[in-house]
């Protein structure tokens, strides 16, 4: 019976090709816009999330403003923070600015940052060539530097900078590595930076404290607890002064960004869903016309033994068929639009199964909802009146 109904629906759609297509158009547009919008927003979200994730989700950044009495963290403070659970490593930053010189070429006001080996371990892609700063450099306060790509190009044009001298703040350093050009979204671009061991920086840059600290986590699931623990340590370090420091959790930021984007895609899908409703009304209209045209047929089927349920089922299936068929067309159109759009915008294209299920499920529901009334009307036709109408 079900198979028979599907076959009859198909035949009816084929017989009225143009009308069926126009009827389905509403659903096609609705589903296509839902698929396209969700996919494009999803693609953009994923791309941006990936960029941000590349900066480190397992990282909590502590920025210290300090108090008049204590302007930053000392090495001892850092060790206290290292006692907190769930920490795999700490990467301090000693901020400095200095002129750097190589063979008479001067570059002014370059950010020279003191960092440690953890910084390089946290992201293996940081280093483009040479070697990173290691524990030995830190312990013996070696005069070594890892330089950003732009600096390598500017000062050592055409040369391999590794092994060459670099004058920083009046002292001679040896270049041991170069940094990979960092991403566009990076808040701290490394392209124009020089990185030296932080112990060396504390001694020779004239900066006596650590202004920021990247804390790497063992398990990001307990990030909130770790943040609380670090806060407690910092709180006592700065003698319970407010605003002496701020803690920035990258994972939190990504989460709130993603939830914002998913709200946005829901909103867009909601707007697109309106056209699905309009499409549903189109289907209802076509079904009503179709029932009027087929009154005799319905009467005959009833005379031959079709129960009201059977008739209702047949017409609901026809409505669902129309809407799902429209949904499938919309899926194809929407995917194409999304595919082209993501290429143009330059974000990744991936259609989620849940998106497809949502669109098709929604169009099926539209079919049921808007097919119900016409189908019920058909099932209630009096066979005598229906047969007489010929």
Which residues bind to other proteins, rule: CB under 8 A?
Answer: 1, 4, 11, 15, 296-297, 300-310, 383-384, 387, 390
Pick the closer one to other proteins by CB: 105 or 380: 380
For residue 217, give the H/E element and its range.
Answer: strand 212-217
- Nearest approach in angstroms of CB 14 to other proteins is 9
Residues contacting 367, CB < 8 A, separation 6+: 280, 283, 316, 319, 320, 321, 322, 323, 324
One DSSP character per residue, 157-183 reads: TTS--TT-EEEETTEEEEEEEEEPPPP
Pick the closer one to other proteins by CB: 115 or 302: 302
Pick the closer one to other proteins by CB: 7 or 105: 7
- Nearest approach in angstroms of CB 10 to other proteins is 11
- Nearest approach in angstroms of CB 320 to other proteins is 19
CB-based contact 32:333 (threshold 8 Å): yes
- Nearest approach in angstroms of CB 275 to other proteins is 32
Pick the closer one to other proteins by CB: 66 or 383: 383
CA distances from 383 to 99, 278, 288, 289, 302 (A): 97, 32, 17, 18, 6
- Nearest approach in angstroms of CB 374 to other proteins is 19
Q: What is the three-class DSSP state of 19? A: helix
Pick from 12, 1, 4: nearest CA to 374: 12
Q: Token pair for residue 317?
A: 């299936």
Pick the closer one to other proteins by CB: 344 or 390: 390
């Amino acid at each position: 019976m079900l198979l028979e109904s599907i076959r009859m629906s198909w035949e009816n759609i084929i017989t009225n090709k143009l009308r069926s297509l126009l009827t389905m158009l509403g659903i096609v547009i609705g589903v296509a816009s839902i698929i396209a919008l969700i996919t494009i927003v999803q693609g953009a979200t994923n791309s941006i999330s990936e960029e941000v994730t590349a900066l480190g989700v397992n990282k909590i950044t502590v920025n210290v403003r300090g108090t008049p009495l204590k302007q930053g963290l000392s090495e001892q403070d850092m060790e206290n923070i290292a006692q907190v659970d769930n920490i795999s490593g700490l990467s301090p930053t000693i901020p400095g600015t200095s002129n750097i010189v190589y063979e008479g070429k001067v570059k002014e006001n370059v950010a020279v940052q003191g960092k440690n080996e953890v910084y390089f371990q946290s992201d293996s892609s940081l280093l483009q060539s040479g070697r990173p700063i290691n524990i030995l450099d830190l312990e013996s306060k070696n005069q070594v530097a890892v330089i950003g790509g732009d600096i390598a190009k500017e000062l050592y044009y055409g040369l391999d900078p590794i092994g060459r001298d670099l004058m920083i703040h009046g002292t001679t350093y040896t270049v041991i590595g170069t940094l990979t050009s960092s991403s566009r979204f990076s808040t701290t671009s490394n392209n124009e930076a020089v990185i030296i061991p932080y112990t060396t920086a504390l001694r020779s840059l004239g900066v006596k404290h650590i202004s920021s600290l990247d804390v790497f986590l063992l398990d990001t699931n307990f990030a909130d607890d770790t943040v609380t623990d670090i806060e407690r340590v910092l709180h006592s370090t700065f003698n319970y002064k407010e605003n002496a420091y701020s803690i920035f959790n990258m994972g939190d930021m990504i989460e709130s960004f993603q939830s914002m984007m998913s709200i946005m895609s829901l909103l867009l899908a909601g707007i697109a869903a309106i056209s699905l409703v309009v499409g549903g009304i189109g289907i209802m209209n076509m079904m009503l016309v179709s029932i009027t045209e087929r009154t005799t047929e319905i009467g005959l089927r009833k005379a031959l033994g079709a129960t009201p349920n059977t008739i209702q089922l047949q017409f609901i299936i026809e409505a669902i068929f129309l809407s799902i068929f429209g949904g499938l067309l919309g899926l194809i159109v929407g995917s194409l639009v999304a595919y082209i759009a993501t290429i143009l915008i330059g974000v990744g294209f991936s259609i989620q199964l849940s998106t497809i299920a949502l669109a098709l499920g929604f169009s099926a529901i539209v079919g049921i909802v808007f097919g119900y009334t016409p189908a019920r009307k058909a099932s209630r036709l009096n066979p005598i009146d229906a047969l007489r109408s010929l």
